[in-house]
Structure 1
Amino acid sequence: MDYQFKAGSIPLLVSMPHVGTEIPDDVLAAMTPAAVDKQDTDWHLVRLYDFLGEMGASVLSARWSRYVIDLNRPPENTNLYPGQDTTGLCPVDTFHREPLYRDGQAPDQAEVQRRLAAYWQPYHQQLRAELDRLLALHGRVALWDAHSIASVVPRFFEGKLPDLNFGTADGHSCAAGMSDAVVAHARAQQQFSIAVNGRFKGGHITRFYGQPEKGVHAIQLEMCQSTYMDEDAPYGYRADRAAQVQPLLRDMLHTAASWVRA
Structure 2
Amino acid sequence: MKYPFLISIPHGGIRIPSEVAGRFVLPNQDLLWYCDPATRHLFAFGQSASAVIDTEISRMVIDLNRPPLPLPPKDPDGIIKTRTIDGRPVYRNGQLPDLKLIHQLMMKWYFPYHQRIDELIDSHDISLAFDCHSMLPYGSPEQNDAGKKRPLICLGNYGDETGQAKPGSLTTCPPEWILGLADAFRKEFSGAGDVAINVPFSGGFISNAHYWRKGIPWIQIEINRILYEDNSCHIQRSVVREERIPGLRTKIWQILTRFWDDLPKEGQEVYFS
Structure 1 residue 105, shift from structure 2 partner: 1.3
Structure 1 residue 113, shift from structure 2 partner: 2.4
SS at match of 1:33: coil
| Structure 1 runs not aligned, ≥5 long | 1-7, 79-84
Structure 1 residue 129, shift from structure 2 partner: 0.5
SS at match of 2:79: coil
Distance (Å, rounded) in 1 between the aligned partners of 2:90 and 2:242: 31
Give 1:227-246 correspondences, 5 Å limit: 227-230=227-230, 231=232, 232=234, 233=236, 235-239=238-242, 241-242=244-245, 245-246=248-249
Going from structure 1 to structure 2, the CA distance change for 1:159 and 1:238 (only over 3 Å counts) comes to same
2:13–2:40: 8 Å Cα contact kept in structure 1? no
Identity %: 26
Structure with the bigger percentage of helix = 1
Question: 2:11 matched to 1:18?
Answer: yes
Distance (Å, rounded) in 1 between the aligned partners of 2:210 and 2:100: 27
Distance (Å, rounded) in 2 between the aligned partners of 1:131 and 1:61: 15
Structure 1 residue 215, shift from structure 2 partner: 4.5
Going from structure 1 to structure 2, the CA distance change for 1:77 and 1:208 (only over 3 Å counts) comes to same
Q: Tell me the equivalent position of 2:42.
A: 48
1:185–1:251: 8 Å Cα contact kept in structure 2? no
Question: 2:64 matched to 1:75?
Answer: no
79, 91, 102: which one aligns with 2:92: 102
Instruction: Tell me whether 32-41 or 242-251 shows the greater mean CA deviation.
Output: 242-251
Structure 1 residue 187, shift from structure 2 partner: 3.0
Give 1:73-222 correspondences, 5 Å limit: 73-77=66-70, 87-134=77-124, 138=125, 141-152=127-138, 153-156=140-143, 157=145, 158-170=147-159, 171=165, 172-188=171-187, 189-191=189-191, 193-211=194-212, 215-222=215-222
Going from structure 1 to structure 2, the CA distance change for 1:15 and 1:234 (only over 3 Å counts) comes to farther
Structure 1 residue 28, shift from structure 2 partner: 1.5
Distance (Å, rounded) in 2 between the aligned partners of 1:197 and 1:238: 27
> For this pair of structures, how many residues does the alignment match?
243
* Post-superposition CA distance 1:117-162 (Å, at most 9, x none): 121011111111101112xxx4x52110110122122321232211
| Structure 2 runs not aligned, ≥5 long | 160-164, 166-170
Q: CA RMSD in A?
A: 2.7
Distance (Å, rounded) in 2 between the aligned partners of 1:86 and 1:9: 40
2:9–2:43: 8 Å Cα contact kept in structure 1? no
Structure 1 residue 229, shift from structure 2 partner: 1.7
Distance (Å, rounded) in 2 between the aligned partners of 1:190 and 1:244: 17
1:211–1:218: 8 Å Cα contact kept in structure 2? no
Structure 1 residue 56, shift from structure 2 partner: 3.5
